[in-house]
Structure 1
Amino acid sequence: MNIPTLAKWRLALALSLPIALSGTIAPPTYSQGNGGSPLTVRADQQEADARTGIVTARGNVQVNFPSRNLQATSNQAQFFSNEQRLVLTGNVFVLQEGNSIRGEVVTYLIDEGLFVAQPLPERQVEAIYMIPENGNGQRPSAPAPPAIR
């Protein structure tokens, strides 16, 4: 029996993660368990492994995670649902609450709110932080930007 690729993909996603699809061209939305917040991933190609709970997206990847005010682009993304970990690879750009990170590999540990960024060999990671100021030029006490290791 030859099952079309799209049907296999949808079946694997349905078995591995809660998903919301509306129509045939809507991007998959992955939720973090019951009542979780949506993580939308758009890409040229996506596959999900029902056994491991790993979803892999390749080509022109766009990630939107509104509850964490996070947007990202990369060449590839892997969402490890069991560990609540998102690994972005290849020309990664992450934007969260005005702060940004550029690198070759950026891992986001969702439950910890922690980013781990790695550069290409002989290169560096770039992070830009928005530092709020009050009216007299003094920096108010504010929560720290997302942690990077």
Structure 2
Amino acid sequence: MRVLVQEAPFDFGAEANTFATGHKDMGAIVTFTGVVRDLAQGDLDRMVIEHYPGMTEKALENIANDAQERWSLGDVLVIHRYGDMVPGDMIMMVATASTHRKDAFEAAEFLMDYLKSRAPFWKQEFTRDGVDWVAAKDADEAALKRW
């Protein structure tokens, strides 16, 4: 298991390749990457993500450990960025490895749902009209109920 919280961009292809290499006993590798998307009005200048060092890493490790306890996983990778980002930038990446695809897909989805709703990150959107904190969405909270 590897959990990284970093300001620097990551290379999705390199991370996915490194993760998949050496898992000869795994039949499934699932990856997901979250990307900063523009607002419906098309006016997102940038997003700033803040976190508390130490606390954030521990929370992400706990979520990853939860996934490993619930599903038969050979490995887990979680990368989450903080700092200034613009539309199109990659925010986060999740990768899971399992002998069977069902466990790998379900664990990846679980990680994504929990990272979206429970990871201690705070997001601000900067637009031409000002700055707004990103509020939790009911749909994200509802997604947790299935786990």
Q: Same fold (TM over 0.5)?
A: no
Q: As a proportion of its length, which structure holds more helix?
A: 2
* TM-score where L is the length of structure 1: 0.24
Q: Which has the higher contact order (CA 8 A, sep 6+)?
A: 2
* TM-score where L is the length of structure 2: 0.25
Q: As a proportion of its length, which structure holds more strand?
A: 1
